[in-house]
Structure 1
């Protein structure tokens, strides 16, 4: 069975599997391994920092395989995007904010513009600016996402229906951690899946071993979506986006409090910084989606892409056979 989709043909990859451009995790080695496996490796550049790009981009750019780079739309500027384009990525992705100021820069460079959306208003805006690919991210996802969004299962087909006339491929994101999830994304009408948490638990991810171990040991019920940790660590994330993380002592300590109250509570912020300085809490929250309890090992990312592709094929064949094991139709 072939997993060719409009997306794989557009980017020239073998499998409709994309590495989420996670800041702090998706460096050159991880992106390169995903591309070698037949997916699309994406660097998590964040704000387009020159030093970071100079260290990480050549690792994946030198392979001669399709790859891309992703930015936090609210944080990057045009100069940061232009800096990344000097490394000749095949695709550039923007998440969390208005991609309008960057669309022409990407298209003028002849690159594929990928826009991640967390609601229908953002999806319409992505179409307006000429997105070549849209990522529909549900609230199942780890890391940042919509404060008032929808789960992946209902959100993805809504976006697929919206873009149908424009013939823009859609990638599903949120809670996808094995081939069954990729198969489900395809069944919903998506052209592939963008996967984050599963790739954090790989040998090439730029994360501390304790983070990998925490992800492997975690269960979905260990995750929480909140903006509290952003306020405590004085991160300037826009208020419309919260983050799904594993359990954290300061989330428990301030359970029930309003984020606005925490944003004004200098003592709570000092306590957080003190615990950080003393090593009592991790340097960064552990971002993790609701598919975390499907993650049980730490393979190479190259091997993982191939495993995901094989699992996807198996899941699609099983679905075609129907509940009684016979081919349907």
Structure 2
């Protein structure tokens, strides 16, 4: 059974699977591997840092084997210049997440690049439809990394967005880490799934080995949404978007004391000192609730095919009952 959907047809890819453009960790090698594997790789450029892109784009170009790929940005952190420079590389898609995409939507569409908008609530979903998104990603609160602190879980959120956005194809995100999750996304009416944490635990991901191993060893109950680590590291992330991470010493020390931490420069300096000394990770360990299902560190190219095969098996098994 071939898993052909509006998403696979739009991009000419084999499988309804996309890489979440995780800032910094979804580099050129990982993006290319997902695309070579038959999914859609999305380069995680974050705020569009020119130095990072100058390093990763040549890797992507050398390794993607002519397959379609895209690029993703944190909408709140970019300007029109960032979008324009990215479009010069002719990505098949540009994904905008977390913030108001309206200043950039028309330029992306006019370029011929498909516009993918990630949404975390129904207000954002309605805006994405109004802006003419070619694909909408409905992110549930199970997702690793940043997302809405007041959103809905993936299971009830995705079908509501599917109904609201029709006929625009929707991808499910949040809590999908194996082929059964991909199958569930399709059963909910989505045209595919966008995976983040699962692809962090691959050979090509730009993460510290300790972080990859922590994901493999972790459990869903080890993760929680918080703003503590953004405040501690003086991140400019908007307060609306909390981050799901694995445990952390600063999280234990300052949980539910965000305002106090924000007013404590000595604590933020202590965080920087601990990072410099190597006693805490240089970055929070972003991870979603489905990490229990992650038990290995494969090549991302092989993983895409494995996820698709698992999804086909799950759908076939459900249909035979």
Please give the range of the TM-score, normalised by the shorter of the 2 chains. Answer: over 0.9
Aligned to 1:240: 240
Q: 1:260 Cα shift?
A: 2.2
Instruction: Work out whether residues 228 and 255 of structure 2, in 8 Å CA contact, stay in contact via their aligned partners in 1.
Output: no
Cα distance between partner residues in 2 of 1:303 and 1:24: 22
Q: What CA deviation, in whole Å up to 9, does each residue of 1:185-214 have, x standing for no partner? A: 000000000000000000000111111111
Higher mean C-alpha deviation, range 83-92 or range 46-55: 46-55
SS, match of residue 291 in structure 1? helix
RMSD (CA atoms)? 0.9
Q: 1:59 Cα shift?
A: 2.5
1:124 aligns with 2:126: yes
Cα distance between partner residues in 2 of 1:255 and 1:73: 27
Runs of at least 5 residues in structure 2 that lack an aligned partner in the other structure: none
Cα distance between partner residues in 1 of 2:89 and 2:51: 13
Q: What CA deviation, in whole Å up to 9, does each residue of 1:124-182 have, x standing for no partner? A: 11111111100000000000000101000010011011012xx1000000010000000
Aligned to 2:15: 15
Counterpart mapping for 1:215-294 below 5 A: 215-257=215-257, 259-294=258-293
Q: 1:312 Cα shift?
A: 0.3
Cα distance between partner residues in 2 of 1:108 and 1:57: 22
Cα distance between partner residues in 2 of 1:112 and 1:221: 36
Runs of at least 5 residues in structure 1 that lack an aligned partner in the other structure: 323-329
Cα distance between partner residues in 2 of 1:125 and 1:245: 28
Cα distance between partner residues in 1 of 2:12 and 2:184: 22
SS, match of residue 76 in structure 2? coil
Aligned to 1:61: 61
Q: What CA deviation, in whole Å up to 9, does each residue of 1:52-104 have, x standing for no partner? A: 21221232235211100000000011111111111111000000001101111
Cα distance between partner residues in 2 of 1:310 and 1:316: 10
1:317 aligns with 2:319: no
Q: 1:261 Cα shift?
A: 2.2
SS, match of residue 74 in structure 1? helix
Q: What CA deviation, in whole Å up to 9, does each residue of 1:18-49 have, x standing for no partner? A: 00000121000000000000000010011222
Cα distance between partner residues in 2 of 1:45 and 1:177: 22
Question: Which of the residues 63, 78, 81 maps onto 2:80?
Answer: 78
Aligned to 1:303: 302
Q: 1:255 Cα shift?
A: 2.5
Aligned to 2:149: 147
Aligned to 1:327: none
Cα distance between partner residues in 2 of 1:208 and 1:241: 24
Cα distance between partner residues in 2 of 1:248 and 1:200: 18
Instruction: Work out whether residues 50 and 83 of structure 1, in 8 Å CA contact, stay in contact via their aligned partners in 2.
Output: no
Give the alignment's TM-score, normalised by structure 1.
0.95
Q: 1:270 Cα shift?
A: 1.6
1:41 aligns with 2:51: no
Cα distance between partner residues in 2 of 1:72 and 1:89: 17
Instruction: Work out whether residues 58 and 87 of structure 1, in 8 Å CA contact, stay in contact via their aligned partners in 2.
Output: no
SS, match of residue 280 in structure 1? coil
Question: Which of the residues 156, 159, 164 maps onto 2:158?
Answer: 156
Instruction: Work out whether residues 245 and 289 of structure 1, in 8 Å CA contact, stay in contact via their aligned partners in 2.
Output: yes
User: Post-superposition, which runs of at least 4 consecutive aligned residues in structure 1 deviate over 6 A?
Assistant: none
Number of equivalences: 319
Cα distance between partner residues in 2 of 1:20 and 1:152: 15
Counterpart mapping for 1:183-222 below 5 A: 183-222=183-222
Instruction: Work out whether residues 219 and 292 of structure 1, in 8 Å CA contact, stay in contact via their aligned partners in 2.
Output: yes
